[in-house]
Amino acid sequence: MSRRKKIYEGKAKILYEGPEKGTLVAHFKDDATAFNNEKKGTLEGKGVLNNRISEYLMSHLAKIGIPTHFIKRLNMREQLIRQVEIIPLEVICRNIAAGSICKRLGLEEGAALPRPIVEFCLKNDDLGDPVVSEEHVAAFGWAGPQEMEDMVSMTLRVNDFLSGMFAAVNIRLVDFKLEFGRHYEGDMVRTILADEISPDSCRLWDLRDGKKLDKDRFRRDLGGVVDAYAEVARRLGIMKESPALKIIPNGKSA
């Protein structure tokens, strides 16, 4: 495994060359970072859970016609994905005010937003991923007009679908972040959903008591981070019994 060519190493994932041209293997690590890398930690079992949760959510989105980079899960920590050229934007969708929008616009955490709000941030760690307008995106050519239209419409469909899926298991989808990529097929290029969808990239609150079931537990030192992710997996029916989940640190067996 270690002889595979590493293409990229990010904060929570490593990408290796895939078995066929145009494919990559995404390896989900247990590392966690927050506040633009100022806070770092290792959460044993997080990678296993995010691999499974992201597989589950991406597979369901594919079934409703959202094109994604996900091909199949290979083992506990790895999935086979389509190679794409990542569009350098983070697309954030918010239903409830939380996180950075509260500071930016003086909103109270938990306030319902008038309608789902889609925001774009430039993927640039040195600048702290600043919010940018569609005017900036167009002027600097980070994404084309059709790509912007595709990203917004897919994001709103993902929001409708996942809000319903989570509500059915008593979880509120507060907000989430998506990344998209350009997938080249011969002369054709299309925009597809990439990266991951997991409690690292979503805010998920228990509908009954408001308990946070996402990365805010790490950001705010609330403890029980992996237990909360396992609870999300368990409610979605992915992991049958969360506490007994057998996690092999950095293990690769399925």
Cβ at position 101, least distance to ligand UDP in Å: 6
The angle formed by the CA atoms of residues 223, 50 and 110, to the nearest 5 degrees, is 55
- The backbone torsions φ and ψ at residue 38, rounded to the nearest 5 degrees and listed phi first, read -70, -35
Nearer to ligand UDP, 15 or 122 (CB): 122
Nearer to ligand UDP, 73 or 203 (CB): 203
Cβ at position 35, least distance to ligand UDP in Å: 7
Cβ at position 2, least distance to ligand UDP in Å: 28
Residue 222 and residue 216 in contact, taking contact as beta carbons nearer than 8 Å: yes
| Cβ contacts of 182 within 8 Å, gap of 6 or more | 84, 85, 87, 147, 189, 190, 191
Nearer to ligand UDP, 17 or 129 (CB): 129
Q: Is 162 helix (H, G, I), strand (E, B) or coil?
A: helix
Cβ at position 246, least distance to ligand UDP in Å: 27
Q: Which residues bind ligand UDP (CB under 6 A)?
A: 90, 92, 99-101, 129, 175-177, 201-203, 215
SS (H, E, C) 63-76: HCCCCECEEEECCC
Cβ at position 7, least distance to ligand UDP in Å: 20
Which residue's Cβ has the minimum distance to ligand UDP? 99
Residue 160 and residue 152 in contact, taking contact as beta carbons nearer than 8 Å: no
Nearer to ligand UDP, 18 or 52 (CB): 52
Nearer to ligand UDP, 18 or 69 (CB): 69
For 47-168, strand residue ranges (E) read 70-73, 78-82, 85-86, 89-96, 112-122, 131-132
